[in-house]
Amino acid sequence: MKTDGGTAAAKRRAGERAATAVEDDFVVGLGTGSTAAYAIDAIGAAVADGLDVRGIPTSFQSRQRALEAGIALTSLDAVDRVDLAIDGADQVVDDPGADAHGALIKGGGGAHAREKLVDATAERFVVVVDPSKLTARFDRSVPVEVLPDAYTVVADRVRDLEGEPTLRSAKHKDGPVVTDNGNLVLDCEFDPIDDPGHLAATLSGIPGVVEHGLFVDLADTIYVGLEDGVDVREY
């Protein structure tokens, strides 16, 4: 799991605060990454105190974390609703004057396909971040999960869109990162991303793309962990 000591306390505050939104009998989407992990731990602590919830993990990592935390697990095909999803983000557009206000880039850990499925299904989607994730406009690459057979074809289409794709490499294995779904990830630089909504729709339309990390018009609330508290923003 990614860690960055300087912001760990802020991430913890955001995650723990979001966990307080979980109510008895809820079905909860459990996000991936270092910030969502704090929410999972806090939900687990509440379960130990008697809270009755079921979690839907968004990755191998969040499943493991939830099992360790003692949260009962379920799956989308076994429930008729997801009450709340709590998830992290790699970047959040924080500019009330911008159309993309509240849009996210996710997928730094390659989990964005299942995350988007669960987060978009939830009645309420809460994002947990530290202040380093806030930006006036996106300036980091967009992860695009692709079928293995499709990576060169999708890379060509991304170049047609004036993007610069890089096949994500594994740190502790020769070769590419393989997602929990058995696919590859292209990290795509677009400079600049003027219209995240338009880019999101365009990427979704490329054959071979499984899912991309632009989450536009999905977040309902963003919890920003601060030095001394949590800033709650509704969208």
Ligand X SMILES: O=C[C@H](O)[C@H](O)[C@H](O)COP(=O)(O)O
- List binding-site positions for substrate: 32-35, 87-90, 106-109, 133
Distance CA 64, CA 32 (A): 11
Binding-site residue total for ligand X (CB under 6 A)? 19
Clarify whether 23 is annotated catalytic: no
* Three-state secondary structure call for residue 220: coil
DSSP 182: S
Give, in order, the Cα–Cα distances in Å from 4 to each of 7, 26, 127, 156, 213: 6, 31, 18, 34, 21
One character per residue 156-195, x = contact with ligand X (rule: CB under 6 A): ----------------------------------------
Picking from 223, 234, 207, 228, the residue whose alpha carbon sits closest to that of residue 87 is 223
102 near ligand X, judged by CB under 6 A: no
Measured from the Cβ of residue 199, the count of other Cβ atoms closer than 10 Å reads 21
**72-101: which residues touch ligand X (CB under 6 A)?**
87-90
110 near ligand X, judged by CB under 6 A: yes
Amino acid sitting at position 53: V
111 near ligand X, judged by CB under 6 A: yes
Catalytic choice (16, 23, 68, 115): 115
57 near ligand X, judged by CB under 6 A: no
Write out the catalytic residue numbers.
115
Residues lying near ligand X in the complex (CB under 6 A): 2, 31-36, 87-90, 106-112, 115
